[in-house]
Amino acid sequence: MCAMKGLNRRQFIASSTALTGAAMLPWSFSAHAAQVASATPGGTARKGGVLRISVDQAVGVLNPHQVRVNPEYLVAELLYSGLTRLTQEMKAEADLAHSWQASADLKQWTFTLRPNLKFSDGSALTSADVVASLQALLDPKNASPALHNIGPINAVSAPDTNTVLIETDAPYADLPVMLAYPDAKIIPASIAQGQYDKLSKASFGAGPFQLVSYDPERKIVVKRNPHYYDPARPYLDGVEVVVYPDGIAESSALISGDTDLMLSAQSSEFARLSKSSGVLPLRVASGQFLNVNMGCDQKPFNDVRVRQALALCVDRQASVDFVADGLGSPG
């Protein structure tokens, strides 16, 4: 669940519903697809403005290869790009790579980059940066969640400055989709090959925005990247990601107009937001779940019959009603 404020003065038109779905389903968020424009009452888009988004936990990790929670995914999407990104239909579309093709056995993939790509500092982005980035992702010592999520990649090479060749261990039709994984962002080769620690405090991306300031516990500020490959976007001048660890305070900030959009809303606050003037609360389907984990290596949970008995005696609907205030469905 999420909510947006300002249906009059701060009415926004987005090219997708990605911003509203970001918290519930990280893969559905695409900062590139959700370039937001302020709009006149007649609906004519115009550039400008700063969108203030609130999140419910600190953006503790800035390194795009190591982000793990929704606010971190959000910031990584603002600052970085990958070879591909996902549409709202969960299909791969062009990002830094404008096209790709696979061999007949689906074990060799050729990605062709957009021409004249640049990082946010104006330096050139080439296939060498893509190769170094993917190799860093696949290096166990860097502990990236993407290591086991971007596919069975065996080798990555660059035949020329605009072409990337990826070989997989087995036929893998989903490679373009998996390369849209939130952590699979492209960084400069010099950073990937020896200055990886720089990613913890600074941004070196090719996304739609540049980093202005980073205070992980309070606020992250970004501004439009003049070197972004799409000259028409982003529409916004900037984005402020504001941290509110307290859910009630976060909702109050939206209601009072101190923020424009909540990335996610607690189920206990959803009713209050729904009754507030000028707030548009949205419920979106998600892949998130609330689960009960048992220590299956310890008695009595190492007995499958015990686990089955517990599963059979749980009132699932009552659990949904109690834990999620009815705003969910039994798994």
pLDDT digits 0-9 by tens, 270-292: 888 988 988 988 887 777 777 78
Q: What is the pLDDT of residue 11?
A: 32
Q: Which fold has domain 1-80+207-288?
A: D-Maltodextrin-Binding Protein; domain 2 (3.40.190)
Query: Is 85:30 a contact under the CB 8 Å cutoff?
Result: yes
pLDDT at 269: 87
Residues 22-46 have pLDDT tens digits of 322 222 222 332 333 334 445 566 7
Q: pTM (2 decimals)?
A: 0.81
Percentage of the chain exceeding pLDDT 70:
86
Q: Does pLDDT of 263 surpass 50?
A: yes
Q: What is the pLDDT of residue 321?
A: 84
**pLDDT single digits (tens) 201-211:** 999 999 999 99
The answer to whether 58 and 243 are in contact (CB under 8 A) is: yes
Looking at residues 77-104, what average pLDDT do you find?
A: 96
Q: pLDDT tens digits, residue range 55-77?
A: 999 999 999 999 999 999 999 99
Domain boundaries, the chain: 1-80+207-288, 83-195, 291-331
Phi then psi dihedrals of residue 290, to 5 deg: -110, 120
Is 50 exceeded by the pLDDT of residue 200?
A: yes
Q: Which residues pair with 152 in a beta bridge?
A: none
Please write the tens of the pLDDT for every residue from 315-324. Answer: 888 888 887 7
pLDDT for the residue 21: 33
83-195, CATH topology level? Dipeptide-binding Protein; domain 1 (3.90.76)
Q: What is the pLDDT of residue 209?
A: 98
Q: What is the pLDDT of residues 132-185, one digit of tens each?
A: 999 999 999 999 999 989 989 999 999 999 999 999 999 999 999 999 999 999
Q: What is the pLDDT of residue 91?
A: 93
Residue reference for tokens 């501004």: 223
pLDDT of residue 127: 98
The average pLDDT across 181-198 equals: 95
33 versus 85: the higher-pLDDT residue is 85
Output the pLDDT for position 329: 82
Integer Cα distance of 14 and 8 in angstroms: 15
Task: Say if residues 184 and 83 touch (Cβ distance below 8 Å).
Answer: yes
Q: At what angle do helices 247-256 and 267-274 cross, to 10 degrees?
A: 20
Taking a C-beta distance cutoff of 8 angstroms, is the pair 174, 106 a contact? no
What percent of the chain has pLDDT above 90?
66
Tens digits of residue pLDDT in 238-253: 999 999 999 899 999 9
Residue type, 213: S
Average pLDDT, the chain: 85
